[in-house]
Amino acid sequence: MELQFLGTGAGVPAKHRNVSSIALKLLDERNAVWLFDCGEGTQLQILKSNIRPRKIEKIFITHLHGDHIFGLPGLLSSRSFQGGNEKLEIYGPAGIAEFVRTALKVSQTRLSYELTFIEIKEGVVFSDKQFTVTCKKLDHGIASFGYRIVEADHEGELQVDKLAALNIPSGPIYGQIKRGESVTLSDGRVINGKDFVGERKSGRIVTILGDTRKTPNSVSLAENADVLVHESTFNKDEEKMAKAYYHSTSQQAAQVALEAHVEKLILTHISARYLTGDIIHLENEAKEIFPKTKIVKDMEIVEIPFKAE
């Protein structure tokens, strides 16, 4: 499981930062990519990565400001031209379906795949045996949501090599062993199944928030997350401006991470007015409150490992 940050800028594209888009790469887990927001130029950023558009299974939109959705029509069209025929689901606030359908209709674009829209409300928006995705409203002056992605726990793997080394043949007995049962073999040996099953791994939790002021829902969505992705549009001295524009400061993001007990805080949605030295300063501001903080650049990849049990 990896996050790749296709666009980390705020508002408008800049030479060094494109506007918002994040890819959650689940290639080992389900041979798929989930996209969070799709600002203008996202498909150009994808060309710089190893992401194949046909692997994009779901797109989650946090809110309908242009820097988060203007890349959608182009990406959907190109996915069709590039031979993608796998169905695609788009989740987002009310209005996302109208926006996309209008753009496709006016441009007379026909897609080669099934496109489904799920206009979201607070609560569970997707769930299967592997993942559950929930959302809650944030505080941005427009309907804006944060997403919490929870992976199911991984049961311990059967250690087949150890069984083979003891000349224990495969068959129905392997199922008993994997369940951790004690098993008596045909030659009289008794083995404890628990000795042949690897450690159980807790599922990972990723929280990706849309633009927002600091709000209790941010903390709730991020509780005990392995990674929290939070906007950082303003520095700590611009708290009044952040409030006026419905955004957060670097230190407000860090406070959310601290209160939610997350493992790592990733800051994004960085204003183009911040240059290299300013970026270091923003990161250090957040680290004063939450040391495990990182400001990401475009195309940067962050791996999400399992927690040590």
Annotated active-site positions, please? 67
Give the Cα separation of 22 and 39 in Å (integer): 10
Q: Tell me how far apart the terminal alpha carbons of the chain are, to the nearest angstrom.
A: 18
What order of strands is seen across the sheet that includes strand 264-268? 123-127, 131-137, 145-151, 205-209, 227-231, 264-268, 293-295
User: Residue 157 corresponds to which tokens in the numbers above?
Assistant: 């793997």
Q: Which residues contact 131 (CB under 8 A, 6 or more apart)?
A: 149, 150, 151, 152
Give the Cα separation of 47 and 96 in Å (integer): 24
CB 99 within 8 A of CB 68: no
CB 230 within 8 A of CB 209: yes
